Chain A
Amino acid sequence: MVLFGFGGLIYVSVLLINAVAILSEDRFLARIGWTSAAAEPGFGGQRDDASVKARLVQFISSVRTLMRIPLMFINTILIVYLIILG
């Protein structure tokens, strides 16, 4: 039952992805300096592209861009599911 134990896992992962997706880019991330424009050009115009932080920033922004629209559908389905089945 509960989808063989997948249910809780799906729930938690959808919540986490939602959390990443709704981070406001200009109000929150810019304050910490985690946007892609924040990395000022280094010593010769070479952007620091390969450090862990830069890749993490890239990763977060790509997750946001990719998952915006599918998340809407997944959230709708989950809401309907939870309303019907309590």
Chain B
Amino acid sequence: MQRQAYNQPPAHSPPLHHPVPQHVSTVPQLRSPPPPQPPSQPQSGYGYAGQQGVPAQGGGGYGSTMQPPFGNFMNDPAAQMGLQFGRSAMDAGQHYMEQNLGRYVSVSALKHYFNVSNSYVVSKLSIVLFPWWHKPWSRQQRLSNNGQDGYYLPPREDVNSPDMYIPMMAIVTYILLSTLLAGLRGAFHPELLGYTATLALVVLALELAIIKLGTFLLNITSSSQLLDLIAYSGYKFVGVIISLLLSELLAHLGIGGSWVSWVVFLYVFSANAFFLLRSLRYVLLPDQGQGGVGGSAAGYTVARSQRNKRTQFLFVYSYVVQFGFMLWLSRV
């Protein structure tokens, strides 16, 4: 009940006496519409209700200790000061994070890769697992409004655009799945999670190094981003997951011997190789496309032997290298 130290509630205070719920604060800058307040409320009360950046503990802690009407909380100077301090601390922390994180990782570029929709995920997974059903493989570009040359459409609008959502989910699922399978075999120890994570990261890094080395040695000037290549490397984890799952399931059901898991693995490997062949064609052989996005200059002719070498590199990378890596990943 109310303590006598507080002022009397204003005559026309709102009938609700609990504080405004703070649980919708997913976007810190979002301002919720102010709760219905009588005009005699002090200004700071309005500011408190409109501010969504205050952590929820402040509101929750207040709500659990006392039950005064909403307006009386603002008259307590200690709580007000605590509020101000919390707000400024949050702002400072956010500012610091934005400053420092933006220097190493370009967040807006990452956001482009996570701009996916459900239908995109489903169709992309079906492309990775059954790539011969898919017809047009080129990424779509769109000229931006302010006249600079075009940029690629986000994954939400273009199925051929690589994203980072599927690879990230696939890597995490692979780590958990392989640890789970090891546990089912009775060979689990907690460092296995770390080992598998390291293994996945090493495979990614090695693939990236091979592609970068290949583009340097073969003198390929392509404007593909680093995250694109990471995304393309991550799609093979989908295949590895499917292969592990199916071989484990079929082994439990008792169908066939070890050749079943080999068949599944070979199918998944060939699907992934075909997918990479088609997708990386636009990265590694940029002159065969319709003119890349600012990549190949006009009239850039490549010698025939160079083209052959690049095609050979693409083939070797898609098939031999991927075979090695997928085999390595599948040895659980």
Measuring CB to CB, which residues of chain A are less than 8 angstroms from any residue of chain B? 1, 4-6, 9, 50, 52, 55-56, 59
What does DSSP make chain B's interface, helix, strand, loop or mixed?
Answer: helix
Q: Interface extent on B, as a size class?
A: 10 to 19
A50/B219 contact (C-beta < 8 A), A5-B199, A9-B202 known: yes
Contact residues of A: prevailing secondary structure? helix
B133 close to A (CB within 8 Å):
no
Interface string of B137-164 (1 = CB under 8 A from A): 0000000000000000000000000000
A52 and B218 form a contact (CB under 8 A): yes
Closest to A1 in B: B191
B201-224 interface bits toward A, Cβ cutoff 8 Å, 1 = contact, 0 = none:
010000000000100111100000
A3 to chain B, nearest CB (A): 9
Report whether B309 and A59 are in contact in the complex, using a CB–CB cutoff of 8 Å.
Answer: no
Q: How far is the CB of B212 from chain A (nearest CB, A)?
A: 11
Residues of A within 8 A of B306 (CB): 50
B181 at the interface (CB under 8 A from A): no
Give Cα distance in the complex from A52 to B216, angstroms: 9
Closest CB of chain B to A62's CB: distance in Å?
10
In the bound complex, residues from chain B placing their C-beta under 8 Å from that of A55 are 216-219
> Are B309 and A5 in touch, CB under 8 angstroms?
no
Known interface pairs A6-B198, A9-B202; A56-B217 also in contact (CB < 8 Å): yes
- Nearest-neighbour CB distance to chain A for B270, whole angstroms, equals 28
